[in-house]
Amino acid sequence: MYAPHGGTLINRLVTGAERDALLAKAANLPAITLNSREMSDLEMIAVGAMSPLCGFMGQADYDNVVANMRLADNTPWPLPIVLATKGDDAAPAAGSEIALKGECGTIYGVMTVSDAWQPDRENELDQCFSGTGAKADHDHPAWGYLSTLGTSYVGGEITVANLPSHEKHNEFRFTPEQTRAAFAEKGWNTIVAFQTRNPIHRAHEYLTKVALEQTDGLLVHPLVGDTKSDDIPSDTRMECYKVLLTKYYPMDRTMLGVYPQAMRYGGPREAILHAVCRQNYGCTHIIIGRDHAGVGSYYGTFDAQSIFDQYGEGELKINTLLFEHAFYCKLTGGMASTKSSPAKNEDKIFLSGTKVREMLTNGERPPVEFSRPEVADILIAAYAKAETANA
């Protein structure tokens, strides 16, 4: 395993008497309310998944990340991790302390404010979410989030007394400290992460098994933070992962854990974010396929692979396993890619996400060359339930 990104696994959680004292102080401080994305970022920062961040970014880090994909100290970092004021609330003063609370009213910790500023969100959208496919515009999901925020960003180190509680997937919520310990116990020296926000279909299965041929273990690490409303819910996806891993993977070389981050649909930049965070979890490799973290046609097909070339040798420790579009090849009778199959288009079986959703909505089973039948059964039942609920 590699050292965490930046060299040290950050821990901003306090316990015991220190926790009690922090909560007592927080009760008398002015508070800022965190939305669901900010809550997931708070959790990731607190447990070290976003090392070397010790809190929400100040302006110097933010400006350099937006412009150059680096923190102010030149450490590679691709996307802003920021806390925003809400509505017309005024920003707290630099040097002050504020309580961090959830929308439920629970206090989670305290921030020591380093600075507050009014960002240029149009510039953030353009710089962080445009690709070679298209310039980011107000139809991009990123603007759907950015446009809801208050006028200021607030930066500073955080100290956390309580992690957010979750109703789902708690048996699969592992901190970086826990995954690193699990990998060591299993005797895995090389671990490949598979980032996903979708059910695993046959092409994904092929990629992960090719990766397993090169490493000691596989961490299937689905994102369970905020996603778009038309993405498949995490509870449905988790059922798919569990049945697939149990039946079709070697369980002694596979581990399932959830990744609490919110989806930003940042394409190439988000691919880097997924990589450095997985390094913090202890992974030595990450699978980067076509249009990783993409949405619509904003990014070029392989932008998320080529963007890693912008960093110098050794700046990112984690290794990227780069894959082209995989498909079922009728010519060879198995899964393949353009690197391993001479098949023409008529001999390739792959379906668009739109076509698959249409089939599932109609209760139709996708072909076995696309999806394992057990996964298709779960998805068909979930779509039927959703249709009934919306009727």
Give me the residue spans of the domains in the chain.
16-160, 172-390
What gap in Å lies between CA 303 and CA 272, rounded to an integer? 11
What gap in Å lies between CA 345 and CA 323, rounded to an integer? 18
20-24, 44-48, 303-307, 340-344: the lowest-pLDDT one: 340-344
Average pLDDT over residues 128-132: 94
70 compared with 353, residue with greater pLDDT: 70
Confidence tier at 228 by pLDDT (50, 70, 90)? confident
Q: Which fold has domain 172-390?
A: Rossmann fold (3.40.50)
Dihedral sign computed on CA atoms, order 331, 337, 342, 346? positive
What six digits make up the tokens of 130?
Answer: 């445009």
- Residues forming the active site: 197-198
Write the pLDDT tens digit of every residue in 286-305: 999 888 998 989 999 899 99
- Assign domain 16-160 to a CATH class: alpha beta
Query: In terms of Cα–Cα distance, which of 231, 237, 226, 232 is closest to 194?
Result: 237
